[in-house]
Amino acid sequence: MLDYNVYLKKSDSMAFEEAVNIYNSIFNMLECKDEYLHELWKEVIDSALVYANMRINWNYFSREEKHEKDDLRTIYHNTFMINLKAFHKLGEQLELDTSWKEKLGSSEDRKRWGDFAGYLLCLENIRAR
């Protein structure tokens, strides 16, 4: 069972409110009509979907399946991170407010970035209503 309060006590956790704040900052960038920026954002979302799907299924894989799929899970995570970094870099080049990346933290903190992928999908799902 997940205990969100226990999760929040971990040094590399991300509160829902923090994810919403980062998401809203990113979404402000998307007011820019640059077509390539929007294409990169779609790649961020697509890679978050692939990674989060693997991460959710991880809960149901056997030990053997986890062993078989561990490298693939890492590849999916790396792809999400690369896409998000590319989106950030283009935002900088377009002179947009990219301060959200500082809030997300260093890419060395892979767990936070992975958590954000899940939050991102949650928030996109709510936005789609």
Q: How many CB atoms lie within 10 A of CB 102?
A: 10
Residue type, 79: T
Instruction: Please tell me the predicted confidence (pLDDT) of residue 2.
Output: 86
| pLDDT tens digits, one per residue of 52-74 | 999 999 999 999 999 999 999 99
**Residue 33 within any structural domain of the chain:** no
**Residue 20 within any structural domain of the chain:** no
Please identify every stretch of the chain with a pLDDT value under 70, giving residue numbers as ranges.
none
**Residue 91 within any structural domain of the chain:** yes
**Residue 16 within any structural domain of the chain:** no
**Residue 85 within any structural domain of the chain:** yes
- DSSP 8-state secondary structure symbol assigned to residue 128: T
CA distance linking residue 114 with residue 28, whole number of Å: 22
Structural domains in the chain (count): 1
Query: Could you tell me the residue range of the domain that residue 55 belongs to?
Result: 38-127
Q: What spatial distance separates the first Cα and last Cα of the chain, rounded to whole Å?
A: 28
**Residue 19 within any structural domain of the chain:** no
